[in-house]
């Protein structure tokens, strides 16, 4: 983008006309999409649940370093491996003034598991929730679960009286009438909704009765959120001083924002791991023309693909150094991560040898599904990977599509790909969920044959294992990890599982890319690795 | 006259149904709406249940029939993504689009017609040549490029105008307007110039060609021979006769400005129906997309109908034939 310089005469007259800066403690920010609903159980998506986390609160919350902090629960204890006791905070009121108590937790526990809630996995469906008194709640599960509350930072507590008075029923995505909770809220958090025009603008103000007043640094009293899908518009609005925070800033604009006197970039590695998934389920590799054969079922072929990808070049050229290479399917900061795992080194010669050993000296062809609007520079990375594979003789036909079409192609039961690029963030920030949903065999129940195609609709484990990696040893370990309450033993099991999956080349982990936030000079933010924007940590200079 | 009107209304209804049908068939290729509505961890069972509840398992003709049946009753359903009635969403966004279009159209007329007249009367002058070069740029440069350049120059570097949004609006109950506030006018200038530039150059070229034509006609020559003042010839006789075709075509263009301000709206984050449509496409929000297309078809059909009726009033020959 050319840098336009104009004479100082023009500039002087221009400054006189520039719009007056609005109130000093207003936070004006923009991101690419709007929140789906004000109802905290309808859409599980990072931006929506992060946004609502400023309005609603859970029993626990995540600090900027992602550690677990008490929120609506002051403390908790494990009475037995299956029996949890949570002690609730007593001085909390909802935004309409109603005091918060155990009944609201019971209501929220019921509603989050009912209807078309997107957060059903926050609590096992057979877990019992019992109010011991007004400020003590017990959770009784059938299986021990040492990380029960790890995913609760975005399981927000709703008010029973408000919901019932306004006819808010179960979360319903196919409803024919608008739910009251879609445009209204009654949370306990530091900010309350003032007005909302979906897709246009949402304004919020500070809730005076917030229990945590003074415990966080923010001085923001008003918040104005505008969804701005067009990245160039977003960056221009930051540079012209109309916005205080924009996210994400595209890689090619980072230097420009840094060079501007009024803007700065806050960046850090995300907790999302980008990876390539290889179809190991289909008997015939999609797009290969090899009837009845799937080379990707062969570990040697998978290692050959891994070694054919020159990640350093991708990072230097496409991500301009803003990425952390990954050897594991979880990022640093996730429980169970270890830096003792190393990537298979880039070695195209070894790749060719491995392909020859596996019986494909001339390579093979398959479909490579890519998105172009889901992740940082996803299209460019895909095309680079495709070119690198071509150098060892593998013809990965890249099919780049927008999110909607892309997901349709790769989600089960379609599995219409040889290779696909995806990103994963373990919701609990623990390795178990990554093992459970990405590495366990997708099957209908414990006894059913692995890979039974008719059962695809009923899969209970390996839900995001779209490529069908399967190793019974991992299934066994994952189930043990789930119920092991001794932390050291549990971590040893996790390490064992990661050793097996990396030896199997179950996936090709690529990197954690760095999220770049554009911030106006004078505004302080805490950039979190999970990309959640917590206004509790935003300060605006007066 | 009545028969003509009924015929035309019938044709309009057919057009609307065909548009709806085409839209419905095309949406098959837009992707899976369910995948957009649930998290990646949602079980296949829950997905199937949602698909069933949304009626996506019904055959295409059944889905289409249900849509049309509800649409004639004024019920366009709820947006998949926002959970709000589509009709409300569109009604909230329509004023922004119409105001932007009218201002853009006004700029195009006010600037384009004098430029056209001047370059038609004095085709050899350097100013006319400059106008022609400008109009070439207006016709050939893509809208998003013009928009981004205006933002960079006037928004970021000069800091003269807001770079996005609509400014403050006044709610009149049935209409929200930005044209009653200073910041509203301030915000509309850049997007209106972007949207109006193509129309402006288009009108300028049209007026220029018409003027060049008219100046060669006999009645202008006679007027000159009679010694009528130059100003009266140029504006009283020549311009008046060029305006009929110009206004007809410009009127038809108004429809396309309202309907296809999508690019301008997305560059300037202008909260109109085009922006809503773009957002709906990326999330496969079928009710919003179908209703938008129907609305656009309705705008075009109505404008054409009005133009046809005006012709009928103006031109007696058509009246005879239609009888």
The reply to whether B228 and B258 lie within a common domain is yes
pLDDT the model gives residue A369: 93
Return mean pLDDT, chain A. Answer: 88
Q: Which of B72, B105, B131 is the last residue of a domain?
A: B72
In this structure, are B254 and B183 located in the same domain? Answer: yes
Is there a single domain that holds both residue B182 and residue B52?
A: no
Q: How far is CA A402 from CA B34, B226, B277, in A?
A: 15, 68, 16
Beta strands in A177-310 (DSSP E): 191-197, 201-206, 222-227, 245-246, 263-269, 273-278
SS3 A227: strand
Domain range list for chain A? 8-53+175-269+515-540, 60-164, 273-513
Same domain, B110 and B226: yes
CATH number at residue B312: 1.10.3720.10
pLDDT grade for B23, boundaries at 50, 70 and 90: confident
Class of domain A8-53+175-269+515-540: alpha beta
> What pLDDT score was predicted for residue B281?
83
Do B184 and B256 reside in the same domain of the chain? yes
Query: pLDDT (tens digit, 9 = 90+) per residue, B88-139?
Result: 888 888 999 999 999 999 999 899 988 998 998 888 899 999 998 888 888 8
Average pLDDT over residues A37-45: 89
Lowest mean pLDDT across A338-352, A467-481, B280-294:
B280-294
Share of chain B above pLDDT 70, in %: 95
Q: For residue A25, is pLDDT > 80?
A: yes
Residue pairs between chains A and B whose CB atoms are closer than 8 Å = 179
Across the interface, do B283 and A1 touch by the CB < 8 Å criterion?
Answer: no
Q: Cβ separation of A14 and B159 shorter than 8 Å? A: yes
Q: Which fold has domain A273-513?
A: Dipeptide-binding Protein; domain 3 (3.10.105)
From B13, B41, B72, the end of a domain falls on B72
Measure CA A97 to chain center: 33
**B56: nearest CA partner in chain A:** A174
Which residues form the domain of B39?
2-72
Nearest to B138 by CA among B215, B200, B60: B200
Could you please state the CATH topology (level 3) that the domain comprising A60-164 is classified under.
Dipeptide-binding Protein; domain 1 (3.90.76)
B73 lies within 8 A of chain A by CB: no
Query: Using a CB-CB distance cutoff of 8 angstroms, which residues of chain A are in contact with residue B40?
Result: 463-464
User: Over the stretch A422-461, which tens digit does the pLDDT of each residue have?
Assistant: 998 888 889 998 998 899 887 666 555 455 556 656 666 7
pLDDT confidence band for B304 (50 / 70 / 90): confident
pLDDT of A39: 94
Angstroms from A227 CA to nearest CA on chain B: 8
Q: How far is B121 from chain A, CA to nearest CA, in Å?
A: 34
Banded pLDDT at A5 (limits 50, 70, 90): very low
Residue B84 included in any domain = no
Q: What percent of chain A has pLDDT over 90?
A: 60
List the alpha helices (DSSP H) in chain B.
2-27, 33-37, 44-53, 60-72, 86-121, 126-140, 143-150, 182-215, 218-225, 230-231, 240-259, 262-267, 273-282, 286-314, 316-322
- In this structure, is residue B189 part of a structural domain? yes
Helix (H) / strand (E) containing A433: helix A431-434
**Whether A66 contacts A333, CB under 8 Å:** yes
Residue at which a domain ends, from B44, B72, B100:
B72
Same domain, B141 and B56: no
In a domain, B43, yes or no: yes
Mutate to test the interface with B, among A21, A115, A198 (most CBs of B within 10 A): A198
Q: Chain A: residue nearest B28 by CA?
A: A405
ipTM of the complex: 0.78
Among residues A389, A347, A399, the alpha carbon closest in space to that of A368 is found at: A399
Residue A199: pLDDT over 50: yes
pLDDT band at A375 (very low <50, low <70, confident <90, very high): confident
d(CA A49, CA A58): 11
Give A265-303 pLDDT, tens digit per residue: 998 888 999 999 999 888 888 888 888 889 999 999 999
Q: What pLDDT shows up at residue A459?
A: 64
Flag whether B82 is in a domain.
Answer: no
B38 part of a folded domain: yes
Instruction: Tell whether the torsion through CA atoms of A143, A144, A147 and A153 is positive or negative.
Output: positive
Give pLDDT tens digits for B144-169. Answer: 899 999 999 998 888 889 888 888 88
Q: Is residue B242 a part of any domain in this protein?
A: yes
CA distances from A536 to A523, B103, B259 (A): 13, 42, 42
Highest mean pLDDT (candidates A2-6, B52-56, B276-280)? B276-280
Query: Tokens representing A16?
Result: 């006189």
Give the residue-averaged pLDDT of B273-292. 86
pLDDT digits (tens, 9 = 90+) for B76-102: 888 888 888 888 888 888 999 999 999
**pLDDT computed for residue B240 by the predictor:** 77
Answer whether A44 sits within 8 Å of B41, measured CB to CB.
yes
Distance from the A169 Cα atom to the nearest Cα atom in chain B, whole angstroms = 14
B80 touches chain A (CB under 8 A): yes
Where is pLDDT greater, at A407 or A351?
A351
> Please, is B127 exposed, middle or buried when counting C-beta atoms within 10 Å of its C-beta (0-12, 13-18, 19+)?
exposed
Identify all chain A residues contacting B37, using CB atoms and an 8 Å cutoff.
Answer: 43, 173
Q: Are residues B209 and B239 in the same domain?
A: yes
Does the pLDDT of residue A489 top 90, yes or no?
yes
> Does B186 fall in a domain?
yes
Q: CA of B151: which chain A residue's CA is closest?
A: A236
Q: Give me the pLDDT at residue B177, please.
A: 87
Nearest chain B residue to A5 by CA distance is: B157
CB contact under 8 A, A200 and B271: yes
Residue B85 lies in a domain: no
Q: For residue A456, what is the nearest residue in chain B, using CA coordinates?
A: B44
**What residues of A are in contact with residue B50 (Cβ under 8 Å)?**
116, 173-174
Q: Are residues B191 and B293 in the same domain?
A: yes
- Interface probe with A: pick from B26, B33, B41, most Cβ of A within 10 Å: B41
**Assigned token pair, A1:** 């983008």
Asked whether residue B37 falls in the same domain as residue B118, the answer is no
Q: Do B271 and A427 touch (CB under 8 A)?
A: no
Q: How many domains does chain B have?
A: 2
Whether residue B229 lies within 8 A of chain A, CB to CB, comes out as: no
Distance from CA of B282 to the nearest CA of A (A): 7
Q: How far apart are CA A105 and CA B37, in angstroms?
A: 26
Helix ranges (H only) for A134-193 are 160-165, 180-183
């Amino acid at each position: 983008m050319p840098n336009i310089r104009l004479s100082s005469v023009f500039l002087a007259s221009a400054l006189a006309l520039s719009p007056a800066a609005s109130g000093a403690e207003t936070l004006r920010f923009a991101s690419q999409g709007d929140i789906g609903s004000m109802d905290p159980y309808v859409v599980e998506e990072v931006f929506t649940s992060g946004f609502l986390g400023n309005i609603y609160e859970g029993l626990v919350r995540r600090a900027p370093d992602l550690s677990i902090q008490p929120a609506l629960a002051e403390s908790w204890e494990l009475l037995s491996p299956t029996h949890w006791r949570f002690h609730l905070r007593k001085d909390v009121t909802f935004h309409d003034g109603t005091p918060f108590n155990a009944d609201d937790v019971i209501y929220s526990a019921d509603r989050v598991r009912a209807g078309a809630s997107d957060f059903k996995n926050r609590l096992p469906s057979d877990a019992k929730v019992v109010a011991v008194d007004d400020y003590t709640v017990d959770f009784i599960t059938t299986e021990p679960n040492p990380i029960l509350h790890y995913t609760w930072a975005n399981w927000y507590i709703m008010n029973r009286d408000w919901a019932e008075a306004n006819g808010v029923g179960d979360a319903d995505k196919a409803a024919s009438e608008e739910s009251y909770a879609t445009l209204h809220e009654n949370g306990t958090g530091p900010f309350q909704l003032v007005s909302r025009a979906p897709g246009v603008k949402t304004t919020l103000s500070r809730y005076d009765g917030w229990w945590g007043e003074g415990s966080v640094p923010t001085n923001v009293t008003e918040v104005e959120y505008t969804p701005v899908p067009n990245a160039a518009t977003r960056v221009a609005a930051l540079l012209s001083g109309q916005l205080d925070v924009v996210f994400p800033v595209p890689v090619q604009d980072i230097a420009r924002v840094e060079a501007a006197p009024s803007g700065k970039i806050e960046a850090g590695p995300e907790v999302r791991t980008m990876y390539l998934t290889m179809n190991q389920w289909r008997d015939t590799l999609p797009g290969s023309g090899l009837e009845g054969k799937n080379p990707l079922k062969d570990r040697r072929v998978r290692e050959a693909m891994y070694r054919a990808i020159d990640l350093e070049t991708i990072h230097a050229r496409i991500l301009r150094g803003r990425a952390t290479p990954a050897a594991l399917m979880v990022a640093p900061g996730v429980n169970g991560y270890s830096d003792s795992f190393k990537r298979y080194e880039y070695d195209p010669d070894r790749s060719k040898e491995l392909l020859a050993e596996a019986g494909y000296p001339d390579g093979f062809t398959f479909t490579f599904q890519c998105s172009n609007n889901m992740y940082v520079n996803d299209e460019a990375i895909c095309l680079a990977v495709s070119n690198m594979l071509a150098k060892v003789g593998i013809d990965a036909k890249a099919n780049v599509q927008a999110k909607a079409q892309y997901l349709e192609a790769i989600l089960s039961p379609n599995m219409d790909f040889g290779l696909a690029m995806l990103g994963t963030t373990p919701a609990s920030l623990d390795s178990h969920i990554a093992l459970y949903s990405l590495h366990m065999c997708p099957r209908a129940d414990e006894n059913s044959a692995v890979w039974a195609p008719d059962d695809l609709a009923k899969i209970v484990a390996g839900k995001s294992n779209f490529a069908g990696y399967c190793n019974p040893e991992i299934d066994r370990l994952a189930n043990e990890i789930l119920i092991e309450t001794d932390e050291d033993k549990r971590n040893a099991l996790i390490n064992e599982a990661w050793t097996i999956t990396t030896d199997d080349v179950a996936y090709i982990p690529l990197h954690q890319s760095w999220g770049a936030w554009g911030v106006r000079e004078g505004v302080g933010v805490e950039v979190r690795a999970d990309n959640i924007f917590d206004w509790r940590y935003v300060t605006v200079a007066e | 006259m009545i028969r003509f009107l009924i015929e035309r209304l019938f044709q309009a209804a057919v057009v609307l149904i065909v548009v709806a049908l085409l839209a419905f068939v095309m949406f098959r290729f837009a992707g899976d709406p369910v995948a957009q509505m649930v998290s990646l961890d949602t079980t296949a069972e829950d997905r199937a249940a949602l698909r069933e509840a949304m009626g996506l398992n019904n055959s295409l003709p059944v889905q289409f029939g249900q849509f049309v049946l509800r649409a004639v009753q004024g019920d366009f359903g709820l947006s998949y993504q926002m959970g709000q009635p589509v009709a409300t969403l569109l009604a909230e966004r329509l004023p922004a689009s119409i105001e932007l279009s009218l201002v853009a159209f006004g700029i195009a007329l006010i600037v384009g017609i004098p430029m056209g007249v001047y370059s038609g009367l004095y085709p050899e002058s350097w100013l006319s040549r400059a106008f022609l070069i400008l109009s070439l740029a207006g016709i050939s440069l893509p809208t998003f490029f013009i928009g981004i350049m205006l933002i960079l120059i006037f928004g970021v570097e000069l800091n003269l105008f807001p770079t996005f949004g609509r400014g403050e609006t006044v709610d009149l109950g049935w209409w929200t307007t930005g044209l009653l506030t200073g910041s509203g006018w301030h915000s509309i200038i850049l997007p209106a110039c972007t949207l109006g530039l193509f129309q402006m150059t288009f009108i300028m070229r049209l007026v220029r060609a018409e003027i060049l034509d008219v100046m060669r006609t006999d009645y202008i020559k006679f007027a000159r021979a009679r010694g009528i003042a130059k100003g009266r010839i140029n504006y009283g006789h020549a311009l008046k006769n060029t305006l009929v075709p110009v206004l007809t075509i410009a009127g038809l263009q108004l429809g396309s400005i309202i309907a296809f301000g999508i690019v301008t709206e997305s560059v300037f984050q202008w909260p109109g129906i085009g922006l809503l449509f773009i957002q709906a496409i990326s999330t496969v929000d079928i009710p919003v997309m179908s209703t938008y297309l129907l609305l656009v078809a309705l705008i075009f059909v109505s404008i054409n109908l009005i133009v046809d009726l005006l012709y009928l009033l103006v031109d007696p020959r058509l009246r005879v034939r239609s009888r």
